[in-house]
Amino acid sequence: MAKIKPSKGSPYARILGVGGYRPTRVVPNEVILERIDSSDEWIRSRSGIETRHWAGPDETVAAMSIEAAGKAIADAGIAAEQIGAVVVSTVSHFSQTPAVATEIADKLGTDKAAAFDISAGCAGFGYGLTLAKGMVVEGSAEYVLVIGVERLSDLTDLEDRATAFLFGDGAGAVVVGPSQEPAIGPTVWGSEGDKAGTIKQTVPWDRFAIGDVSQLPLDSAGNIKFPAITQEGQAVFRWAVFEMAKVAQQALEAAGISSDDLDVFIPHQANVRIIDSMVKTLKLPEHVTVARDIRTTGNTSAASIPLAMERLLATGEAKSGDTALVIGFGAGLVYAATVVTLP
Active site residues: 122, 268, 299
Strand ranges for the chain from DSSP E: 12-21, 25-28, 51-54, 83-89, 114-118, 143-151, 169-179, 188-191, 199-201, 229-231, 264-267, 289-290, 323-330, 334-341
Supply the angle between the helices 272-281 and 40-47 in degrees, to the nearest 10: 30
Q: Map residue 16 onto helix, strand or coil.
A: strand
Distance CA 172, CA 66 (A): 10
Give the C-alpha distances (Å, rounded to integers) separating 300 from 49, 53, 247, 257, 311. Answer: 12, 9, 21, 29, 14
Is 305 in contact with 148 (CB distance < 8 Å)?
yes
Give residue 144's Cα distance to chain centre: 17
Residue 247: which region, alpha, beta or left (left: phi > 0; alpha: psi -120 to 50)?
A: alpha
